[in-house]
Structure 1
Amino acid sequence: MSIPTDIPLLPNHLAGRWQTGSGPGTTLLDPVLGTPLVRVDNRGLDLAEGFSFARDTGGAALRAMSYGQRAAMLGAIVKVLQANRDAYYDIATRNCGTVTKDSAVDIDGGIFTLGYYAKQGEALGEARALLDGDRIRMGKDPVFQTQHVFSPTRGVALFINAFNFPSWGLWEKAAPALLSGVPVIVKPATATAWLTQRMVADVIEAGVVPAGALSVICGSSVGLMDQLQPFDVVSFTGSAETARIIRSHPAVAQRSVRCNIEADSLNSALLDPAATEDSEAFKLLVSEVVREMTVKSGQKCTAIRRIFVPRALYQATAQAIGAKLAKCSVGNPRHENVRMGSLVSREQYDNVIAGLTHLKTEADVLFDGNSTELLDADRAVAACVAPVLLGTQDPVAAKVLHEVEVFGPVATLMPYDNEAQAYALIRRGEGSLVASVYSEDPAFMARAALELADSHGRVHVISPDVAASQTGHGNVMPMSLHGGPGRAGGGEELGGLRAMGFYHRRSAIQASTAALDALVAVAPWRT
């Protein structure tokens, strides 16, 4: 096969140096215009050397710093990224097909998360380990006690990321990892790897992180899991099918590599049974559903996929959502009148169309924006799918609608007959990242939150008094937990400093009072 020479090949950063693969690579395309952009390839790289360098050189350099020093390092990364924001927005438009406001969710969201952890890390000061709870007596004599501590794992953090958030997906993981003192190797999803690679390149070239602390490998993921050793960690965001492969890999199954998974999620929105068509709760739900269906063209792990309303409001909800979706113009994100851009690739376009066909075996089409012409885009080339609202009058009998996630601007409306049935239908998603509740009744909001908490990583409760300040059903904020049980992967990320637990090892130190007093001098901060 001839290697194209007219399309730039992005280098990988591994073992402390820039390296290009020896193969033809994969060409990344503009998802709207179909034009080639750059190539990515990692064939021929010495992965063992790269992982060892990160583990030994990068890890040692990071652990030599205090938490406060590493927090300052995160702050320096923030300044580098802020200085290059314009370039990142340009790449996002060309490689991800996103309009400016959607690019901001990814780019500025990632920078904000880094800044948050930089600020949080300042409070840890000169500590080099973290105390976990208070001392506990081992017997009647208080002279011998046990103190639990967290210390950074002496391994590397491998991130295998998804295509929808090439910026935020990197930094929401890297911020707590680097703050913890653990070097990072990121393998971005191939389709949108350009933005991740460029951000890492800018940070490396600025010299604000130690050698080996941050590496990027673009292209195939073959062989990456084979490099993992017992004290390494791996964090994956993507499909449940790939998650099963990762969990069954010998690194995890035999060498006990710590593993965090974020997979499929059929997130829900629930309207209070007491709501009316004229109520604020109804209007809030409609607005939030439309926003979640259209932001990033529905390509968010946290997007609303199922909408549950009282049966009496089924038709009114369909009409209200459809009326708002009809105003959403779709096409080339460079066009000033386009509100929603494209999916990230034609492959994802095909997946969404196939998924829609599957859902339609159990649902009716309540609104389909695809009958409208695209703005400044060729439907035969562009990976554009307009919003589609589906619905079923019999969600209890449905099966596919509670099992299949279509990763695009698609949601399904479902009526419920009583509160208990609504909770049961939501739980048929078998574990999700987030559910949102819309109500004006504090008692219902509290009841619904507790009913749904065990099957969701986050419950987002929206009432009129927080309408202007609430952060959004699908927006993942660094101070709140991100993850979910069951089919959502069972993982946990963010949640403030809780995220650092994944990159630390807990140990019990049993010693004299004097020895534990000395320990506090190097680990003064308590979880």
Structure 2
Amino acid sequence: MSNMSALNIPASVNDLKIQNYINGQWCPPTTSKYMNSFDPATGQQSCAIPDSNYTDIDNAVRAAKAAFPVWSNTPPEERAAILNRVADLIDQNADKLAMIESQDQGKTIVSARVADMPLCSGYFRQFARCIVEGFTESQSRMNAPCTLTAVTKVENSILQSNTQHVPSGVAALITPWNFPMLMVCEKLAPCIAVGNTCVVKPTELTSATPYLLTMILQAAGLPKGVANFVFGTGVNAGEPLVKHKDIRLVSFTGGCETGAKIGAMAGGLIKRVSLELGGKNANLVFNDCNIEHAVATGVRAAFQNQGEICLSASRQYIQRDIYEKYVQMFRQMTMKEVCVGNPASPNTYYGPMVSQKQMEKVLGYIRLAQEEGAKVEFMLNPNDPNVKSISKDGKLTIKGFEGGYYVAPTLITGIKQSSRVMQEEIFGPVVCMMPFDTEEEAIMLANDSQYGLGSSVFTQDKTKLNRVMRQLNTGSVWGNSWMSWDDNMPFGGMGCSGTTREHGPWSLEFYTETKALYTLVSR
């Protein structure tokens, strides 16, 4: 087994030469075409990404298909040992991986190091453990039924039946840009743990750490062809991957619109599909809550990772008795603690948007709220020396990072529930707040959304907490917290937020086929 230092991982994303990883080898795209990637903090070109096409996808799928018979029959203990080595290598090189992740995505180095990297290695260890422990199979015994087609006498026989989980085949794993390496690990670990092979198509916006992961996989001893990575756009690489005849199942995390297209394509070809999509998540804050805790949690839920989290609490509803107090405390805490700027600085709360396109999308929603007459506030510390200027729509110019894609922490009040700003996923550091009067109204407002991914409820009344949580139409509901994570619990959404559940046994179920085995035996 190689060690990470021998793999010559550079310290800067600018030094990367990203290649496809097919059948255990790094190779350029057959098109010889590349796309430019940009450092979100500066707006400057950083590295080049392969612009792959159907031929590259076909080569990767062929490699995965060829590797499947041996890998699927590899003993679970051997597969688990490789997954654990992957986890060890991620941990040993977490500092460098976090730095590259920050440079490529815009998130702070601190958040990438403290949150993302431990979760990445954690997924590999979790599923290494799961496959060694094995599946919980169903078993049944019953008197053998007499049927018109019976050839032998069955009066003295027993029908013994049980289930068997088997790997599905070649999987397509398509991942987003907000957690580039983490989302790959979340899908890849259970997929290969159970014996599947796969082709990974990371987003072209943030391909750096997924590319570095290929080096880790090879160093850990993963056999060639088991995990293949093809980089490119959704049109040129993603769509051919989903449509490929030898892809048995598709796992996608991303936006609702793209997810609907992938679901239609895969469903029309009778492929199993998992869609983890967006969210417009609500916090319900009742007047009997611990308001200091609710505000602190609300700030984190709104602005962590630049608001580029599918579970961000971008809608916060506060009971009218404490509405003004909550808003004031929220404003003060944000201005005190949420420093926007250089993602490499330990003092930075959040960095730039991932791309100029995403920044313009966020600014567009802010302008829409302004045009509709809502109150829009940019909650900046007036004494922050890093902020050179702010535009009318919240675009920030940061000293030393003048070309970066920065947006101010934004609070919108006086907005209508029907506004697009309240109904559509913004995916940026923008939070909307509205008052409510009754418990019934709060539940109605929270459920008034096409999405159903996550929600939080803040109250010290345990009976009310339980009652409200059970009436919210979201896949995850937190009581007096936000995004407190347990990877043994199911994760997914309702409505436009997705179709399936991931994590723990739910991931294992998705990546396997369940067979029913019937045996006629004598009493």
TM class by smaller structure: 0.7 to 0.9
Question: Aligned AA for 1:432?
Answer: G
Do the aligned partners of residues 333 and 49 (structure 1) sit closer, same or farther apart at CA in structure 2, a change above 3 Å counting? Answer: closer
Instruction: Please list every run of at least 4 consecutive aligned residues from structure 1 whose deviation after the TM superposition is greater than 6 angstroms.
Output: none
Q: Secondary structure at the match of 1:203?
A: helix
Q: How does 1:192-211 map to 2 (within 5 A)?
A: 192-204=206-218, 206-211=219-224
Do the aligned partners of residues 188 and 213 (structure 1) sit closer, same or farther apart at CA in structure 2, a change above 3 Å counting? Answer: same
Instruction: Show structure 2 runs of 5+ residues with no match.
Output: 1-13, 147-154, 388-397
Deviation (angstroms), 1:385: 1.1
The answer to whether the 8 A contact 1:106-1:166 is kept is: no
Is residue 462 of structure 2 the alignment partner of residue 460 of structure 1? no
Is residue 405 of structure 2 the alignment partner of residue 383 of structure 1? yes
Do the aligned partners of residues 39 and 133 (structure 1) sit closer, same or farther apart at CA in structure 2, a change above 3 Å counting? Answer: farther
Which of 107, 124, 130 is the aligned partner of 1:114?
Answer: 124
Deviation (angstroms), 1:335: 3.2
Q: How does 1:439-454 map to 2 (within 5 A)?
A: 439-452=459-472
Question: Aligned AA for 2:177?
Answer: F
Deviation (angstroms), 1:366: 5.4
Q: Secondary structure at the match of 1:47?
A: helix
- Identify the residue that residue 262 of structure 2 maps to in structure 1: 246
Is residue 199 of structure 2 the alignment partner of residue 185 of structure 1? yes
Do the aligned partners of residues 77 and 514 (structure 1) sit closer, same or farther apart at CA in structure 2, a change above 3 Å counting? Answer: farther
Deviation (angstroms), 1:380: 4.7
Q: Secondary structure at the match of 2:47?
A: strand
Is residue 343 of structure 2 the alignment partner of residue 333 of structure 1? yes
Q: Secondary structure at the match of 1:190?
A: coil
Question: Aligned AA for 2:62?
Answer: S
The answer to whether the 8 A contact 2:33-2:51 is kept is: no
The answer to whether the 8 A contact 1:302-1:475 is kept is: no
Deviation (angstroms), 1:218: 1.3
Which of 14, 17, 21 is the aligned partner of 1:13?
Answer: 21
Is residue 272 of structure 2 the alignment partner of residue 258 of structure 1? yes
Alpha-carbon separation, structure 1, partners of 2:246 and 2:142: 29
Do the aligned partners of residues 401 and 144 (structure 1) sit closer, same or farther apart at CA in structure 2, a change above 3 Å counting? Answer: same
Aligned-pair Cα RMSD in Å? 2.5
Deviation (angstroms), 1:267: 0.8
Deviation (angstroms), 1:255: 2.1
Is residue 57 of structure 2 the alignment partner of residue 47 of structure 1? yes
Alpha-carbon separation, structure 2, partners of 1:402 and 1:115: 39
The answer to whether the 8 A contact 2:141-2:158 is kept is: no
Is residue 131 of structure 2 the alignment partner of residue 131 of structure 1? no
Deviation (angstroms), 1:49: 2.5
Alpha-carbon separation, structure 1, partners of 2:81 and 2:269: 34
Is residue 514 of structure 2 the alignment partner of residue 506 of structure 1? yes
Q: How does 1:118-517 map to 2 (within 5 A)?
A: 118-124=128-134, 131-132=137-138, 134-135=140-141, 139=145, 143-153=158-168, 155-204=169-218, 206-221=219-234, 222-227=236-241, 228-229=244-245, 232-249=248-265, 252-272=266-286, 274-275=287-288, 279-280=289-290, 282-327=291-336, 328-361=338-371, 364-365=374-375, 367-369=377-379, 374=386, 377=399, 380-392=402-414, 395=417, 398-452=418-472, 455-462=473-480, 473-474=482-483, 476-494=485-503, 496-513=504-521
Is residue 89 of structure 2 the alignment partner of residue 80 of structure 1? yes
Deviation (angstroms), 1:409: 0.9
Do the aligned partners of residues 43 and 171 (structure 1) sit closer, same or farther apart at CA in structure 2, a change above 3 Å counting? Answer: closer
Q: Secondary structure at the match of 1:210?
A: coil
Do the aligned partners of residues 505 and 318 (structure 1) sit closer, same or farther apart at CA in structure 2, a change above 3 Å counting? Answer: same
Alpha-carbon separation, structure 1, partners of 2:493 and 2:456: 14
Alpha-carbon separation, structure 2, partners of 1:137 and 1:16: 52
Question: Aligned AA for 1:242?
Answer: T
Alpha-carbon separation, structure 2, partners of 1:168 and 1:151: 26
Do the aligned partners of residues 360 and 240 (structure 1) sit closer, same or farther apart at CA in structure 2, a change above 3 Å counting? Answer: farther
Identity of aligned residues (%): 22
Do the aligned partners of residues 317 and 513 (structure 1) sit closer, same or farther apart at CA in structure 2, a change above 3 Å counting? Answer: farther
- What CA deviation, in whole Å up to 9, does each residue of 1:71-90 have, x standing for no partner? 22211110121122122122
Q: Secondary structure at the match of 1:482?
A: coil
The answer to whether the 8 A contact 1:113-1:172 is kept is: yes
Alpha-carbon separation, structure 2, partners of 1:416 and 1:386: 27
Deviation (angstroms), 1:367: 3.3
Deviation (angstroms), 1:159: 1.3
Do the aligned partners of residues 369 and 271 (structure 1) sit closer, same or farther apart at CA in structure 2, a change above 3 Å counting? Answer: closer
- Identify the residue that residue 28 of structure 1 maps to in structure 2: 37
- What CA deviation, in whole Å up to 9, does each residue of 1:289-338 have, x standing for no partner? 11122211111111111111112222111111111110211111233432
The answer to whether the 8 A contact 2:38-2:44 is kept is: yes
Q: Secondary structure at the match of 1:384?
A: strand
Alpha-carbon separation, structure 2, partners of 1:359 and 1:256: 42
Deviation (angstroms), 1:364: 2.7
Alpha-carbon separation, structure 2, partners of 1:477 and 1:360: 39
- Identify the residue that residue 395 of structure 2 maps to in structure 1: none
Q: Secondary structure at the match of 1:411?
A: strand
Alpha-carbon separation, structure 2, partners of 1:16 and 1:363: 57
TM-score after normalising by structure 2: 0.86
The answer to whether the 8 A contact 2:250-2:271 is kept is: yes
Do the aligned partners of residues 46 and 33 (structure 1) sit closer, same or farther apart at CA in structure 2, a change above 3 Å counting? Answer: closer
- What CA deviation, in whole Å up to 9, does each residue of 1:380-431 have, x standing for no partner? 5111112111123754xx3424421110111111111211111111111233
Deviation (angstroms), 1:238: 1.3
Question: Aligned AA for 1:238?
Answer: G
Alpha-carbon separation, structure 1, partners of 2:141 and 2:376: 60
Q: Secondary structure at the match of 1:143?
A: strand
